[in-house]
Every structure is written in C-alpha cells, then in structure tokens.
Chains A and B, each alone.
Chain A
Amino acid sequence: MTKTPQAADVADLPIDAVRPPRPGRWIAAVVAAFALVWLAYTIIVNENLHWDVIAEYLMDGRVLGGLWVTIQLTVLSMVIGLALGILAAVMQLSGSPVLRGASALYTWFFRGTPLLVQLIFWFNIGLVFPSFGIGVPFDGPKLIEWQANELITPFTAALLGLAINEGAYMAEIVRAGIRSVDPGQREAAEALGMSHRQVLRRVVLPQAMRVIIPPTGNQFISMLKTTSMVSVIAGAELLTVSQRIYLGNFEVIAMLIVASIWYIVLTTIASVGQHFIEKRFERGHHALQVRVRRNLRPFSRGNA
C-alpha cells in the first residue's frame, strides 16, 4: 500500500532521481576522445612538421608585417563596405526607381561575379582606364590626372576589390535589418512628429542593428580569412608573405601553419569582440539575449 504524503511532507520532497544510462553517448565520447589523442600524437611526433621552424617564423618581422596588412585590409574594407552597404540599402528603400535600380544593379553585379575575378580585374584596371582624372566628364578638360599604374598598387586594388564586394553583401544585410523592424515602429515615431531622418536614426536603425550586427560580425571574421585571396595579386598580407618565405626556404607546411595560427588568433579575438558588441545592442530583448548567448558559447553545457 502506498503512503499518501501528508501536507507537511509535501513541502520537502527532494528530487534525487537516478539518470537512465546513455551507452550511445558514452561510446561516442570515448571514440571522439581517442581520435583526438591519436590526432594530437601523430601531429606532435611527425618530423615533417618542423615545429622549430614554425616557432622561429611565428614572430618573424616579415610575418608580423603581413599580419598588419591583413588587419588593415580587413578593417578598412569592412568600414568602407559597411558605408557602401548602408548607402545601397537606403537607396533600395527609396521612392525613386532610378536610385532603387542603381542599388539593385550594384548588388546584382558584385554578388554575381567571383571575388577572385574582381580582385584580378581591379589590379589590371589600367588596361581599361590607363588614367584617372577629375574634370569635365565625357572627355572634357581634366583638372588633375593620375596614371593607373601609380594609383593601383596591390594594396589599393585589394582594398577596392574587397570593399566594393563587401558593400554588396552588407547592402543585403542592412536591408534585411531595416525590413525586420515592425512597420508599426515607424508609424509610432511618425505619429510623434519625427522626420524621416529622425525615424531612421532614433527608431529604425537601433532596432535594425540587432539584426545587422550578428551577420556583420560573421562578415568581419570571414573577411579576415578572405583577405588571403589577395595573394593572387601579391597583396603583401599574411598569406603572401608566408608564400614568399616558403618559396625561399621550402618550408611550405610550416609557413602555412604559421599563417593559420595567426588567422586563428585573429578570428578568435574577433569572435570575442562580436559577443560583447551583440550584448550591447540587445537592450530590451532579454529572451533573445539569452538565446544568442547560448548559441555563441560553443562548449556551453545544457543546450539539449
């Protein structure tokens, strides 16, 4: 016969239940742990990896110089790309079909052609336009004129290619962010008597940021790695200098590992930064905040 708990007992009934066995999970964990240890072992004992060379070149002046170029390229192309993206997104939402068309053409073209092709194109722009000038359009007199060969260094070509390409992607991200804001927000702000500019700046963009920032962070992290494409036009960034070094000393794998280590350091720092920036823009959205934070923490427990 079961004893019905009295009211007094009910107040103190701790749950001390036994968990059911999870043999599948245990086996998977053992296999994964074994694979990790084995992988680490083969890497550490492998003589072809030349850890001494990796250690020697990690802080090499040329490598650090390339690292600095990579950071510059990433930051500059993201800033210019974001500005272009906001401009294109606002144009896309404009009432004028000409502005909308121009914006659509821009995103269509630069998203529709490979970045690698664009980079090589910008590097060779001098073949199409031997000189650039400021003056009267349609072959009128020029005030100032530059030769393409002087203007287009590998760095400027890389910056042009990366930033303009990034702008096309950022336009879509910014547009999605602006469209994610409830139209009622715009109406409420207009009903208070705010101008279009005030509505955009005070109400729409701050809320759109919540949607814009996570993918922008991903774009930034992705850009850190995309800069390596610039090596096809000898952009002097991390991968280019690593290649130059291994062409001299034949330490191909070691130099690639040096570059990889630095890429991982950069992307890790950027991910941490992304986490804090996202937190900053989630005021008033607490449920979402918890969810995003949980997704961001790769090794957090209790996701199930």
Chain B
Amino acid sequence: MVEPKVRIRSVRKCFGSVEVLKGISLDVPEGGVVCVVGPSGSGKSTLLRCVNRLETIDSGRIWVDGDLIGYAEQGDRLHHLRPAQLCRQRQDIGMVFQRFHLFPHRTALENVMEGPVVVKGVAKGRARERAMELLERVDLADRAGHYPAQLSGGQQQRVAIARSLAMDPKLMLFDEPTSALDPELVQEVLAVMRDLAASGMTMMVVTHEMGFAREVGDNLIFIDGGVIVEQGHPRDVLANPRHERFRAFLGQVL
C-alpha cells in the first residue's frame, strides 16, 4: 500500500480543561482533497493547525510524507524537534488562513517573494520571476505592486494562496479560506483552489462550501464535539447523511 501523504492517528488536544479533539484518525492520500466540515467550535480548525504544528497535540501522532510532525522518535522515546527542524517541516506545508494574514507592509509581489527569499535564501531576481508566475496563476499579475490594504478580500486571499505556493509545498492547508469574504468574492478564490486540486496538490480544506466539497473533494469529514462523526465520498455522504447530527448541520448550512 502507498504511504498516505498525511497520516493522523488518535490525536487529542486540550485547551485548558476543554478537550477539543478527542481522538481523531485520518489519512489523506497523495493528491487527495479532504474537506473538513462541522459546527463552529467542533475542533476542525484546531485539527488543521495541529498538522503544521501551530498547535501542539496532547497525544496521538501526525505524519506528513512519512515524517513525524513536531517530534523525533529515538528508541522508544519522543524528543521535541529543535526550532530549526520544526521550521524545516513547516516549509513543506502551505497554510491559508481565514483572515488572509498577508504582510501589510509589503506589496503583493513582496508577500509572495518573502518565503523563498527569507527562508530558502533564493536570489531576489529568481524569486521575483517565480512570484510573478504565481500571481499570474491566481490572475493577479496586474496587482503585483499593490499593498494588501489596496486589494479586495478575494484578491488578498488569492495572493495568500500564491504566497504559500511559492514555498513549493507538498501539502496545502486551507482554514476556512472563504469565510471572511463577501459572497460575490467567494467564487474567485474557490476557482483558484479548484485549479490547484486539479493540478494534483494534496489539500486539507476546512470549509462551509458544500458545493466545493461535492465537486472537488475526495473525502468529506464531519467533525462534531472533537470526534469524526461521519466521513465518506462527498457525493455519497451529502446525498445520504446517516447521522442525525450531520443531517441537522447540513440543514443549517445548505
């Protein structure tokens, strides 16, 4: 059997006394698109943030491309990774945030160049060329010199996607990428994500866009109360939701 791109096993995570993830196990195959849905506070964003270690986990294991995230196994003991090793792991995992988080003091082009230049030490000229290609890919080449404050939400999110892609990630994490957008701007971002999925990128997408999940997703995960309540191919589970909680959730978002 082929090693999955992402392997998540029995992950638990507490914030203080509240357990937000109560044993999540999940595989994402190479090139797969997993859509994670669930009510707010269900732990779906936390799960995503654990994958690139923006959050630490309290138990369980996460592997990306066969590498254990956050720790090194030596003998029968786990050792925390040193900060530099952690940074190395994160370089290969792109993340797109709900609120974009573009660097406001840099232009769209500079935002896309920042990762390769600062982290990978790519020469500025080459980074600029590549950044322009990526901006072209998200259809924003004409906005390269604009600061984030001069762009619409949809444009900012597309720049944020280009910024992540500039690091040539093996995996892309999307944390509610369209939730902060005006309705008419959602489609332009989804179109970019659709292209990305078609190009074979492995993606984990936390979203409320059921249409996107049905069309692009290979696997749909419904999380509620920190556990996976239902999962399966999006077309099947959306057509025949088995659990009452999932049915109730779909009734609210559709």
CB-CB under 8 A for A192 and B83, given A185-B103, A285-B104: no
B148, A193: Cβ atoms under 8 Å? Answer: no
B175 to chain A, nearest CB (A): 10
Q: B115 at interface (Cβ–Cβ under 8 A)?
A: yes
Q: Which residue of B lies closest to A198 (CB)?
A: B118
A194, B119: Cβ atoms under 8 Å? Answer: yes
CB-CB under 8 A for A193 and B103, given A198-B119, A202-B114, A287-B149: no
CB-CB under 8 A for A284 and B104, given A191-B52, A192-B114, A193-B90: yes
B115, A192: Cβ atoms under 8 Å? Answer: yes
10 extra interface residue pairs, beta carbon distance < 8 Å, beyond A189-B103, A193-B88, A210-B105? A184-B101, A185-B103, A190-B90, A193-B119, A194-B87, A195-B83, A195-B84, A195-B87, A202-B114, A284-B105
Within 8 Å CB of B164, what residues of A? 191-192
Which range holds the interface residue count of chain B? Answer: 20 to 34
CA of A198 to CA of B91, assembled, Å? 14
CA of A160 to CA of B118, assembled, Å? 38
Q: A43 at interface (Cβ–Cβ under 8 A)?
A: no
Q: Which residue of B lies closest to A201 (CB)?
A: B118
Interchain Cβ contacts within 8 Å, total number: 77
A191, B149: Cβ atoms under 8 Å? Answer: no
B95 partner, pick from A191, A202, A210, A283, beta carbons under 8 A: A191
Q: A77 at interface (Cβ–Cβ under 8 A)?
A: no
A202, B118: Cβ atoms under 8 Å? Answer: yes
Which residues 180-223 of A have a CB within 8 angstroms of B? 182, 184-185, 187-196, 198, 202-203, 206-207, 210
Which residues 77-98 of B have a CB within 8 angstroms of A? 83-84, 87-91, 93-95, 97
CB-CB under 8 A for A184 and B105, given A190-B54, A192-B114, A285-B149: no
Chain A interface residues (CB < 8 Å from chain B): 182, 184-185, 187-196, 198, 202-203, 206-207, 210, 283-287
B90, A191: Cβ atoms under 8 Å? Answer: yes
Chain B interface residues (CB < 8 Å from chain A): 52, 54, 83-84, 87-91, 93-95, 97, 99, 101-107, 114-115, 118-119, 147-150, 160, 163-164, 167
- Secondary structure call for the A interface: helix
B118, A191: Cβ atoms under 8 Å? Answer: no
A192 to chain B, nearest CB (A): 4
CA of A287 to CA of B97, assembled, Å? 24
A184 partner, pick from B52, B99, B149, B163, beta carbons under 8 A: B99
Within 8 Å CB of B118, what residues of A? 192, 194, 198, 202
Question: Which of A191, A194, A196 has its CB near the most chain B CB atoms (within 10 A)?
Answer: A191
A206, B105: Cβ atoms under 8 Å? Answer: yes
CB-CB under 8 A for A191 and B93, given A283-B105, A285-B149, A287-B149: yes
CA of A191 to CA of B89, assembled, Å? 10
CA of A196 to CA of B90, assembled, Å? 13
CA of A64 to CA of B237, assembled, Å? 84
The list of the 7 closest CB pairs from A to B, nearest first, reads A193-B91, A188-B101, A284-B147, A191-B95, A192-B115, A184-B101, A193-B90
Q: Which residue of B lies closest to A282 (CB)?
A: B105
CB-CB under 8 A for A286 and B103, given A190-B90, A192-B167, A193-B90: no
B103, A188: Cβ atoms under 8 Å? Answer: yes
Q: Which residue of B lies closest to A193 (CB)?
A: B91
CB-CB under 8 A for A286 and B90, given A193-B115, A194-B118, A207-B104: no
